[in-house]
Amino acid sequence: MYILGIESSCDETGIAIYHSKKGLIHDTLYSQVSMHSEYGGVVPELASRDHIRKLVPLIKKTIRDSNLARPDISGIAYTAGPGLMGALLVGATTARSLAWAWQIPAIAVHHMEGHLLAPMLEETPPPYPFIALLVSGGHTLLIQVDGIGQYTQLGESLDDAAGEAFDKVAKMLELGYPGGPKVSLLAEKGTDRFKFPRPMTDRPGLDFSFSGLKTFTMNTLNSTKKTNQDKADIAYAFQKATAETLSIKCKRALQLTGINTLVIAGGVSANTKIRSELLKMTKKQRATLFFPRLEFCTDNGAMIAYAGCQRLLAGQHENLEIFAKPRWPIETLLSI
Ligand code: KG4
Ligand code: ZN
């Protein structure tokens, strides 16, 4: 069964085809980064308009490049939330219209479930149950995953998401958008000069807070002459504090649940310092760390096609409704 996956929740148009037995057949990504970078961040209206321009040509190209024809497609999976409402509606209406015209089912996929299941696209997928650290631009979540749709949220960010903090620090350091990779690149030139706090690690619990760390970063920056080396040292300290904070909370989640498999996914999981910190911690804990390949850490159509395929195989799909939810708690999903 070939499933077409459509991702359009933010600033990437991702299209993929996943086969229930053969695995991922093809995936295509069009990034809007160069368009938004002029404005220093994502402009929702421009994002929606660009998805409108790119979606149909990309779908046609992906089907053609997979050496398939339209009748080969048995179902459509699309990101229905969380995300930017306008951007989501473009994907949802396109997916629904195609499904209606082609007389095949369509399934609304939760964007964070897509991220969470992205490591399943790798040769060695993680076994259930596992702890997932989902770190993206809008979310920082610790979830116990017992199976698809069997999600227990253990912790979340009480204010900024980890990716959001990276993006805001990038702005302070005048690095522009998208912030995460730029902070990470600058941190490579930094030295271990400043000691930043590890927020909420001195009290029990699995919630996160990054807004204080952001303010601390700003105050530290203002206490310097803002030379290139000052900025690099600050990027280094911020990244180190974030990586260690995430690692402390993940270690706590593994210890509290007795689970010894950790998955890290979402855009921030592309960060090499965070990966190496978690790798070090899981080794010490005799646990195993799984993460998606780099291009599947950030938004992509493959993870949506995979998640949708599993749900369609289980017989789940909606009727004719166009389903788009900018806010959508992951714990409310059906299990399969
Ligand atoms: O998952 P994603 O592509 O989109 C959302 O669902 O939000 O995540 C985007 C976030 C952005 O905040 C971006 O700055 C961050 O992931 N990010 C990174 C890195 N690459 C992307 N943060 C830190 N280091 C990176 N290498
Ligand atoms: Zn995402």
pLDDT tens for 190-247 read 999 999 999 999 999 999 999 999 999 999 999 999 999 999 999 999 999 999 999 9
pLDDT for the residue 138: 95
E strand or H helix at 166, and its extent? helix 162-172
Do residues 85 and 171 both lie within one domain?
no
Give the mean pLDDT of the chain: 97
**Which of 79, 113, 164, 166 should be mutated for ligand 1, with most atoms under 8 A from CB?**
166
User: Identity (one letter) of the amino acid at 318?
Assistant: E
Instruction: Establish whether residue 83 lines the binding site of ligand 1, counting it when its CB lies within 6 angstroms of any ligand atom.
Output: no
Do residue 133 and residue 88 come from a single domain? no
| Same domain flag for 259 and 172 | yes
Please tell me whether residues 210 and 136 are part of one structural domain: yes
Tell me if 313 is assigned to some domain: yes
Q: How far apart are CA 2 and CA 325, in angstroms?
A: 26
Same domain? 180 vs 320: no
Q: Is the CB of 310 under 6 A from ligand 1?
A: no
Domain range spanning residue 265?
A: 128-291
Residues 279 and 143 occupy one common structural domain: yes
3-state secondary structure of 297: coil
- Whether 298 contacts 6, CB under 8 Å: no
Q: Check whether residue 211 and residue 305 sit in a common domain.
A: no
φ/ψ of 76, rounded to 5, equals -125, 130
Q: From the CB of 298, is ligand 1 less than 6 Å away?
A: yes
Determine if ligand 1 sits within 6 Å of the CB of residue 136.
yes
**Which residue shows structure tokens 């009480």?**
158
Residues 141 and 287 in one domain: yes
How many domains are there within the chain? 2
For residues 150 and 77, state if they share a domain. Answer: no
Residues, beta carbon < 5 Å, ion ligand 2: 136, 299
Q: Are residue 161 and residue 96 in the same domain, yes or no?
A: no
Residue 32 Cβ inside 6 Å of ligand 1? The answer reads: no
CATH number at residue 147: 3.30.420.40
How do residues 103-115 score in pLDDT, each as one tens digit? Answer: 999 999 999 999 9
- Residue 226 region, left (φ>0) first, then alpha (ψ -120 to 50), else beta? left
Nearest-angstrom CA–CA distance, 260 and 274: 18
Asked if residue 172 and residue 31 are part of one domain, the reply reads: no
Mutate to test the pocket of ligand 1, among 112, 136, 210 (most ligand atoms within 8 A of CB): 136
Average the pLDDT over 136-146 and give the result. Answer: 97
Note the pLDDT of residue 99.
98
169 plus 317 within the same structural domain: no
What pLDDT does residue 330 have? 97
Task: Using the mean position of ligand 2's atoms as its centre, give its distance from the Cα of residue 232 in Å.
Answer: 27
Residue 107 structure tokens: 């399934």
